[in-house]
Amino acid sequence: MKHLLSTADLSRADAVDLLDVAEEMSRATAREVKKLPVLRGLTVVNLFFEDSTRTRISFEAAAKRLSADVINFSAKGSSVSKGESLQDTAQTLSAMGADGVVIRHGGSGAPHRLASAGWIDAPVVNAGDGTHEHPTQALLDAFTLRRVLAGLPASGPATGAEGRALDGATVGIVGDVLHSRVARSNVHLLTTLGARVVLIAPPTLLPVGVSAWPCEVSYDFDEALAAHDFSAVMMLRVQQERMHAAFFPTAREYARRWGMTDARAAALGPDCAIMHPGPMNRGFEISAAAADSSRAVVLDQVANGVSVRMAVLYRLLTGQGSGAAASTAQTAAGSGTEGEA
């Protein structure tokens, strides 16, 4: 695997391997000294053309815990504001010796262009491109859900999930599917891992061609809750910054019909988890009580994001899988050769 651009490119074996590597990383970083020396001497560039908090910090923490040097690039205050193209930016980074590039861009397909154009000879990780995909978010969601299904703590060091997929799980994804790269990546990945996916949204917030996706579609949240025994319900943020038309009457109407209200949260099955990629609009797509309830695993998703992104960077920059990751973690723990600060 040279790049991670789309979850549609991952086979079931590749996806399970990445999740297993993330389990090893989760245990390794639970030690007193959290760093591993596996990427020492390599440089990872976080190339962010869009604003981000969780994703950028998560990738930075992941790279540093693997002992890589990290360069954070933000389009604001850079030569991009002077008209520099993506090609010129990429070639500049290549000349500076970037060993891996994590890119977040407002244009759908930008990471694919960067990876295929020959501008840079380094692994490329898609950290979100337009309304297209966000593969590492889907991986951390699958990691969290796999823990929940196995009856394990949703985050932190644990054993018992390795080798598992998501066969038998049913996941509802609710809200602004039209503008959501998270929804697209999750539909591909969850289906590959054996889960059944149900998209729930108003017709105006579903993309053209959704009938061809490997999932079911429902327009009524309450009907979907009555018809399915969900393992998890993932609420999507309503991306009003991408909306240039009226997709629903009012915010109050949207919350009433498609929001995770207190009543809907109470109607969920006893083992159903509430998920959200963040940031949350409390009182809009999800109530404060639901977001803070014991069944919500939103903060666990954030915590798991570091381990999953460590796994992705390790896999791409070393070409090694879960067995080598376990050996590396055990060697570092036994010899005290963790990465330097």
The class (CATH top level) of 7-132+305-335 is alpha beta
Compute the distance between CA of residue 192 and CA of residue 168 in angstroms, rounded to an integer: 12
Q: Helix H segments across 29-163?
A: 54-65, 86-95, 110-116, 135-149
Residue 137 annotated as part of some ligand binding site: yes
319 — pLDDT class (breaks 50, 70, 90): confident
Residue 82 annotated as part of some ligand binding site: yes
Residue 276 annotated as part of some ligand binding site: no
Residue 237 annotated as part of some ligand binding site: yes
246 phi and psi angles, rounded to 5 deg: -90, 110
Q: What is the pLDDT of residue 330?
A: 63
Residue 34 annotated as part of some ligand binding site: no
Q: At residue 250, what is the residue type?
A: T
167 — pLDDT class (breaks 50, 70, 90): very high
Q: What is the pLDDT of residue 93?
A: 86
Model pTM?
0.92
Put the strands of the sheet holding 273-275 in their side by side order.
216-218, 196-200, 170-174, 232-235, 273-275
Compute the distance between CA of residue 28 and CA of residue 311 in angstroms, rounded to an integer: 11
List, as one string, the DSSP characters of 87-106: HHHHHHHHHTT-SEEEEEES
Residue 83 annotated as part of some ligand binding site: no
Bond before 279 cis per omega within 30 degrees = yes
Give the pLDDT confidence of 274-313 residue by residue, as tens digits. Answer: 999 988 989 889 999 999 999 999 999 999 999 999 999 9
Q: What is the pLDDT of residue 77?
A: 57
Give the pLDDT confidence of 235-287 residue by residue, as tens digits. Answer: 999 876 655 556 776 888 889 999 999 999 999 999 999 999 988 989 889 99
The DSSP bridge pattern shows strands 196-200 and 216-218 to be parallel
The tokens for 190 are: 């969850």
Q: What is the pLDDT of residue 181?
A: 94
Residues in a beta bridge with 104:
48
Q: DSSP label at 210?
A: G
- Asked if 86 contacts 109 with a C-beta cutoff of 8 angstroms, the reply is no
Residue 111 annotated as part of some ligand binding site: no
Residue 41 annotated as part of some ligand binding site: no
Give the pLDDT confidence of 100-145 residue by residue, as tens digits. Answer: 999 999 999 999 999 999 899 999 999 999 999 999 999 999 999 9
Give the pLDDT confidence of 31-44 residue by residue, as tens digits. Answer: 888 899 999 999 99
- Asked if 216 contacts 188 with a C-beta cutoff of 8 angstroms, the reply is no
Residue 43 annotated as part of some ligand binding site: no
Q: Where are the domains of the chain?
A: 7-132+305-335, 135-300
Residues in a beta bridge with 105:
129
Topology given in CATH for the domain delimited by 135-300: Rossmann fold (3.40.50)
Compute the distance between CA of residue 321 and CA of residue 238 in angstroms, rounded to an integer: 36
Same fold, 7-132+305-335 and 135-300: yes
Q: DSSP label at 79?
A: G
Q: What is the pLDDT of residue 341?
A: 36
Give the pLDDT confidence of 59-98 residue by residue, as tens digits. Answer: 999 999 999 999 998 776 566 666 788 999 889 888 988 9
Show the beta-strand stretches assigned E in 168-241: 170-174, 196-200, 216-218, 232-235
Q: At residue 167, what is the residue type?
A: D
List Cβ neighbours of 13 (8 Å cut-off, separation of 6 or more). none
Residue 279 annotated as part of some ligand binding site: yes
Half-sphere exposure of 234 (CA within 13 A, CB side): 28
Q: What is the pLDDT of residue 238?
A: 87
